[in-house]
Amino acid sequence: MRFVDEYRDAEKARMLAARIAALCEPGRDYKFMEVCGGHTHTIYKHGLEDYLPEAVTLVHGPGCPVCVIPMGRMDDAIHIAEQPDVIMTSFGDMMRVPGGNGSFLDAKARGADIRLVYSPLDALKIARQNPGRRVVFMAIGFETTAPSTAMTVLRAEAEGIENFSIFCNHVTIIPAIKAILDSPDLRLDGFIGPGHVSTVIGCRPYEFISRGYGKPLVVAGFEPLDLLHTVYRLLAQLAEGRSEVENQYSRVVPWDGNPKALRVINQVMELRPYFEWRGLGFISQSALRVTERYAAFDAERIFQIPGGRVADPKACQCGEVLKGVLKPWECKVFGTACTPETPIGTCMVSSEGACAAYYNFGRFSRERVREATRR
């Protein structure tokens, strides 16, 4: 397909790999974090680590929205789904995410009406078709999906659909990156910037990273050559002593983002003072909720949610994986107690989660071999 196949040329990948190796200073190690789970998916699917020299390590970041939903929020969602007349609608990725009280799949088995949708507009359609039921959309995602949720709420209002609401769990990427930068556990040399979030927020919001923290960030596309090209550009910046925000994905990401998308988010949603991220804890101003003006579409206001905090299972090391401190296979339950069928942690659920991507593509990358031989 156009805009896909041309970025998958193995020959060009090898040439880029040679260029990348040539840019590495002898004796120096480089650690780059790919913030976005979509990138994690590409890296494992195409075995990109095998193209990189030993000196370059890719570290997975917190950018998988399914992975960061805390247990307590999942329990709240299930509580809503189990209220009378409710149809809960959700993206497929969310179905297996465990809460303290099981997952959507478990709730469905207990009799709750929980349906998969591809788009929030599909959820609105279900509301239109079922006027006697209360249809709730489990809204998750970063700034990539928030505008779609907001547009759907605006559409519901315009059409006067009163039996539709959203359970808003949208999170924002910048505070998460900041939390990682401020955490003492990790030394990073640069960032592979999220591609699709940036279509909405643009490239400017990352400037605090290049200016304040002196680390380069290159916004990247999702094909293998995009990612190799991005690593090349990060290394080129370091070699030239620069730390700037660059846009490798300019075919899709405008420097200033999508103003209309930002406007609809701000129209329908506002920042929460704080929000809990699974594994990362509470991060201030890191998530969105529905504004007072659209209260009629806010499931959090319509239904009394328990709003409890549930500690992650003891065995779970998702927090370390989300912060890039641990590689998936270093978690004690990886691939044994925790698999995509019976996930203990969220990173094993979504195809964008580091543990699932690693598990599904089952790669014994050179890195894993390196780690194993070190012990």
Categorise residue 257: left if φ over 0, alpha if ψ from -120 to 50, beta otherwise: left
Interaction of residue 280 with ligand SF4, rule CB under 6 A: no
Residue identified by tokens 């970025």 is 7
| Tokens coding 62 | 């917190």
Categorise residue 159: left if φ over 0, alpha if ψ from -120 to 50, beta otherwise: alpha
List 59, 166, 316, 357, residue binding ligand SF4 (CB under 6 A): 316
CB distance 62 to 35 below 8 Å: yes
List 10, 18, 186, 295, residue binding another protein (CB under 8 A): 18
Environment class of 301 (CB within 10 Å of its CB; exposed 0-12, middle 13-18, buried 19+): middle
In the complex, the smallest distance separating the C-beta of residue 347 from ligand SF4, rounded to whole angstroms, is 4
Interaction of residue 357 with ligand SF4, rule CB under 6 A: no
Interaction of residue 41 with another protein, rule CB under 8 A: yes
Interaction of residue 338 with ligand SF4, rule CB under 6 A: yes
Interaction of residue 296 with another protein, rule CB under 8 A: no
CB distance 133 to 104 below 8 Å: no
Closer to another protein by Cβ: residue 333 or 359: 359
Q: State which of positions 93-152 bind another protein (CB under 8 A).
A: 93, 118-122, 140-142, 144-145, 147-148, 151
Give, for 372, the enclosing helix (H) or strand (E). Answer: helix 366-374
In the complex, the smallest distance separating the C-beta of residue 219 from another protein, rounded to whole angstroms, is 12
Question: Smallest Cα–Cα separation from 300: which of 172, 165, 170?
Answer: 165
Interaction of residue 347 with ligand SF4, rule CB under 6 A: yes
Q: 138 by DSSP, 3-state: which?
A: strand
Interaction of residue 164 with another protein, rule CB under 8 A: no
Interaction of residue 355 with ligand SF4, rule CB under 6 A: yes
In the complex, the smallest distance separating the C-beta of residue 255 from another protein, rounded to whole angstroms, is 11
Interaction of residue 30 with another protein, rule CB under 8 A: no
In order, the DSSP letters of 263-315 are: HHHHHHEEE-SEEEETTTEEEET-BEEE-GGGGGGBHHHHS-------PPPTT
Closer to ligand SF4 by Cβ: residue 232 or 329: 329
Number of residues that bind ligand SF4 (CB under 6 A): 15
Q: Is the dihedral of CA 223, 179, 212, 215 positive or negative?
A: negative
CB distance 17 to 9 below 8 Å: no
Q: 154 by DSSP, 3-state: which?
A: helix
Binding partner at 344 among ligand SF4, another protein, none, C-beta below 5 to 8 Å by kind = ligand SF4
Beta bridge partners of 89: 115, 137
The identity of residue 117, as a single letter, is V
List 333, 351, 365, 367, residue binding ligand SF4 (CB under 6 A): 333
Interaction of residue 318 with ligand SF4, rule CB under 6 A: yes
Binding partner at 171 among another protein, ligand SF4, none, C-beta below 5 to 8 Å by kind = none
Q: Which residues are within 8 A (CB) of 109 and not within 5 positions of it... i.e. 6 or more apart?
A: none
List 196, 215, 323, 363, residue binding another protein (CB under 8 A): 196
Closer to another protein by Cβ: residue 68 or 333: 68
Interaction of residue 220 with another protein, rule CB under 8 A: no
Binding partner at 334 among ligand SF4, another protein, none, C-beta below 5 to 8 Å by kind = ligand SF4
Categorise residue 126: left if φ over 0, alpha if ψ from -120 to 50, beta otherwise: alpha
DSSP 249: T
Question: Smallest Cα–Cα separation from 313: which of 99, 91, 16?
Answer: 99
| Binding residues vs another protein (CB under 8 A) | 1-4, 6-7, 9, 11-12, 15-16, 18-19, 36-38, 41, 63-66, 91-93, 118-122, 140-142, 144-145, 147-148, 151, 196, 199-200, 222, 225-226, 229, 232, 248, 250-254, 258-261, 264, 350, 352
